Structure 1
Amino acid sequence: MRHFTRPVARELTGLALALTLAPTASAALTAPAYAGTGEHAAHMGAHHMIRYVSVKGCADKSYGQVPCGHWRLDLIDGTHVSLDDALVHSRDAKGRTEAGTTAPVTVSGDGESVAYFRRKDGRVVVREFHGPVHVMPADALPKGVAIDRAALRLSLDGGRLAVMYSDKKGGEHARVFAVSDPGNPATISGYEEFEGFSGDGSAVLVSGRTDDNTNELVAYDASGRELGRVVPPQVVSNNAPRALSADGRTVAVVTGSARKPVLKLYDMVADRVVGSVPYAGRRGSMPDMADWTGDHQVTVHVNGEGGSGARVTVLEIDTRTGATRVRDSYKVRSDAYVYASCGGG
């Protein structure tokens, strides 16, 4: 399961969103809107869209530092939003607050939606930044499963949500919801790592171990039907991050070094590497996330080496030529206990 990490370690209607005082502004940015056919077409202007979410860390005698305050959304135009109704501290199986652990929160790749556990009742909700709040069923997280065993992931456009959790025996499961109509989720089980949604949100990619102790990749459609299962070559299984294309079969994986990265394209059906594209890396930066954001475009987030105020650089890579464009670059707040960037969008 994917969990938040502190920036210093490496690289996570009726309810008001209160804008904080932040007089800074940034130039308009261009971002992809992946429709599954053709390259990105939408533009991120100076209006509010989410860049990343974080929570402040405060000194604590028992833990050294703990999350405190509210979740904060940093927007691409330089303003900030306080997510006041979101649960900050995780809870154990008995409902007790865990002071040193954050509850799950995630941002869609297009920066238009954020998912979290609601503080007042523990319900999972998806808030469209310019639209309604979608409340998931009360059993989105099965009865008896604690919030501290859960994680959340949104698709690129925020249309689908995965609620991932570990059972008491350590088994991993994911319930996949259609955000606008969440009544009949699909359940995917028997994996070790939820890799993410495909570029168009119609499928998911997971990874795990076979009975022969080899690594495997498995793709499912949003209804839980298996699309493909394969033991990939080591260049794919031993590297990360990985991302599934909208075709449900092509996996992009970042290989090589930080200075000389190479994007490998692997066809799960043909069981072979079909592309090897060197691209411009960033010194001292390691890849953290990868997403397909166009038919021929993969977006990679790279995080600078440790220290407060880690720098995140977002790269758009042409999978045919390796041409690389810096879509965004920013420093995470120096007081952040944990943070989670938006995905590829």
Structure 2
Amino acid sequence: MRLRTALATLLLTAVPLIGRPAAAATPVTIAYAQRTQTWELVLTDGDVVKVPEALAVAPRDAVNAGARAAFLISGDGRHFFYFRKSDGRFTERTLHGEERAIRNITVDTTGEEWPSVSDDGSFVITGTSAPGLGALVDLRKGRTLPLPGGTDQWSFAGFSPDSKRLLMQGALEDRVTVFDRGLRTRLRAKTRLSPIALANDYVTAAATVGSWPKFRKLRLLNLRTGKASGTVTVGLPRGQYIDDLDFDKAGHLVVRSKTKTGVAVYRVSKTTGKATPLRTMVRPDAKVWVLPGDDEYEPWTEKK
């Protein structure tokens, strides 16, 4: 699906935008973000919304001055996150809502900590360059959670598609653990695999196999039994690789892959690896672009 050319430009201010009719058949969401002179949101109806209050790079007094500041969009296309110029705090916003700053995540540690957000935009977690995690924030309840106990070397692997579970790996014991949003342990398995996706059954996980960044194979892991499937080779076109792996809400495997012109999305058979094209997206003529559900850096993010 070719993303439509922008039709109009709007200015996003600290005052809520005037919303479109609530009865609209198809809600307008964020198709992607792009950075030209400033960050901009390109909506699914073609409109462009500027976000002038979002930092593009870390300021001079940050640990990594000049490093690119994160700009993220939740997988549902309804929430966006950025470090704001006024105080450097990581901030959540919807198209028709006001800013909500997350006080314990700031631009000062850009390049040392990396935020990720859940598909529904209600949970934020940061990984760090040191062993362990940074902040875990439940925006729905407005509270920061303590880090999970047992070891300080947890690494975050991903959210379930319904945003109700977090998949983490403990580096010391080769263990994978499923936590709920209150960071209570729900399931644990020992494995040498490094799964990066968790299905909505909270039992099935998926891991890429091979050498980074040229992944073309995967394995499935049953977190209840600890057993892994055989290796499945994904039937991607020549020159394309598994750049992003996830499950959709129905439990299908979904792969995103960088192409010569942008990004392609495929549904992948768990048994044969057959890749069925779902849509393609052509990269805009911008320095940087970000898709809903992206982590801070994806292969297609920056223009080379």
Structure-1-length-normalised TM-score: 0.66
In structure 2, the partner of 1:158 is: 121
Matches for 1:77-92 after TM superposition, within 5 Å: 77-91=45-59
Question: Are residue 251 (structure 1) and residue 205 (structure 2) matched?
Answer: yes
Distance 2:216 2:133 in 1: 32
Aligned residue for 2:293, secondary structure, equals coil
Distance 1:150 1:77, change over 3 A: same
In structure 1, the partner of 2:289 is: 339
Distance 1:202 1:271 in 2: 21
Question: Are residue 114 (structure 1) and residue 68 (structure 2) matched?
Answer: no
Distance 1:81 1:151 in 2: 25
Distance 1:275 1:159 in 2: 35
Identity of aligned residues (%): 22
Question: Are residue 175 (structure 1) and residue 161 (structure 2) matched?
Answer: no
Question: Are residue 297 (structure 1) and residue 277 (structure 2) matched?
Answer: no
Deviation track 1:156-180 (CA, whole Å, cap 9, x = no partner) reads 12222223344xxx23314222223
Deviation track 1:6-36 (CA, whole Å, cap 9, x = no partner) reads xxxxxxx952699xxxxxxxxxxxxxxxxxx
Distance 2:282 2:171 in 1: 36
The unaligned stretches of length 5 or more in structure 2 are 1-11, 18-24, 295-304
The unaligned stretches of length 5 or more in structure 1 are 1-12, 19-44, 57-68
Mapped contact 1:176–1:222 kept (Cα < 8 A): no
Question: Are residue 73 (structure 1) and residue 55 (structure 2) matched?
Answer: no
In structure 2, the partner of 1:285 is: 240
- 1:266 is displaced (CA, Å) by 0.6
Aligned residue for 2:279, secondary structure, equals strand
In structure 1, the partner of 2:22 is: none
Query: Which has the higher relative contact order, 1 or 2, with Cα contacts under 8 A spaced 6 or more apart?
Result: 1
The number of residues matched between the two structures is 274
Structure-2-length-normalised TM-score: 0.73
Question: Are residue 314 (structure 1) and residue 265 (structure 2) matched?
Answer: yes
Selected match of 1:230 from 186, 189, 214: 189
Distance 1:248 1:137 in 2: 28
In structure 2, the partner of 1:26 is: none
In structure 2, the partner of 1:191 is: 153
- 1:269 is displaced (CA, Å) by 2.2
Query: Residue type matched to 1:218 in 2?
Result: T
Q: What is the alpha-carbon root mean square deviation over aligned residues?
A: 3.7
Mapped contact 1:49–1:111 kept (Cα < 8 A): yes
Distance 2:47 2:103 in 1: 33
Distance 2:46 2:26 in 1: 9
